[in-house]
Amino acid sequence: MTRPGGRSARVRDAVHDAVVELLAAGEIDAAIPRIAERAGVNPTSIYRRWGSRDHLLLDAAVTRLRATSPIPDTGSLHGDLRGWAEGVERAMRDPRGQILLRALVATMSPDEKPLEYLRARGDDLQATLDKAAARGEPVPSVDEVLDFVLAPLYLRVLFRRPAEPGTGARLVERLLMALPADPAPRAGRGG
């Protein structure tokens, strides 16, 4: 990527778009020539850049999901987590979000270290929690947020149906409700 912002970026975006559209349209095993056609690009360009369909899918999923639902800064932990959870929930009600999450799970190598995507999210989360702790608010651990807010939202999408509106907010409320009023730093659950 020594030439950012030019033709290279255009092709990359067009290919990512094509992947998302095709998957969302139900062509879940569209091969590279089909994706290239949809993107208005030569198949060779895809083979040369991504090498395999799985690498392309993983790249598209990570890139696109990373842009989704950042953690807001509302001034209170409750507001931050609630805004974030609602964003995740909304993204997971979009068929494209669903398919991207599924593609991510499908193409991640099982022995992969904690995926960069989720690690970055964990870091963001930690920063948000740190700020809240500095304000004197009682805070959960990152693990608790992932276990009791993100996990239910994701599991519902992957195995059942997308969470109904309000689920994210309810999960956040339940988690924060369970915290001790004392803002002493909590012993993490060991992740």
Residues within the interface to a second copy (CB under 8 A): 26, 28-29, 52, 54, 95, 98-99, 102, 105-111, 114-115, 118, 146-148, 150-152, 154-156, 158-161, 164, 170-171, 178, 189-191
Pick one of DNA, a second copy, none as the site partner of residue 93 (Cβ within 5 to 8 A by kind). Answer: none
Q: Is 32 in the site for DNA (CB under 7 A)?
A: yes
Measured from the CB atom, the residue of 12 and 172 that comes closer to a second copy is: 172
Residue from 17, 47, 143, 170 touching DNA (CB under 7 A): that is: 47
Residue from 17, 21, 24, 43 touching DNA (CB under 7 A): that is: 43
Q: Is 169 in the site for DNA (CB under 7 A)?
A: no
Write a three-state SS string for 92-139: CCCHHHHHHHHHHHHHCCCCCCCCHHHHHHHHHHHHHHHHHHHCCCCC
Pick one of DNA, a second copy, none as the site partner of residue 114 (Cβ within 5 to 8 A by kind). Answer: a second copy
Residue from 13, 28, 42, 112 touching DNA (CB under 7 A): that is: 42
CB of 76 to DNA, least distance (A): 42
Give me Rg for the CA atoms of the chain: 19
What whole-number distance in Å separates Cα of residue 133 and Cα of residue 128? Answer: 9
Residue from 25, 31, 127, 155 touching DNA (CB under 7 A): that is: 31
Q: Is 38 in the site for DNA (CB under 7 A)?
A: no
Q: Is 12 in the site for DNA (CB under 7 A)?
A: yes
Listed in sequence order, the residues at least 6 apart from 100 whose beta carbon sits closer than 8 Å to its beta carbon are 20, 23, 60, 61, 64, 65
Tokens 């095709």 -> residue = 22
Residue from 17, 21, 24, 45 touching DNA (CB under 7 A): that is: 45
Q: Is 79 in the site for DNA (CB under 7 A)?
A: no
Contact status, residue 15 vs residue 46, Cβ threshold 8 Å: yes
The tokens for 157 are 């999408």
**Would you tell me which residues interact with DNA (CB under 7 A)?**
1-8, 10-12, 31-34, 40-45, 47-49, 51-53
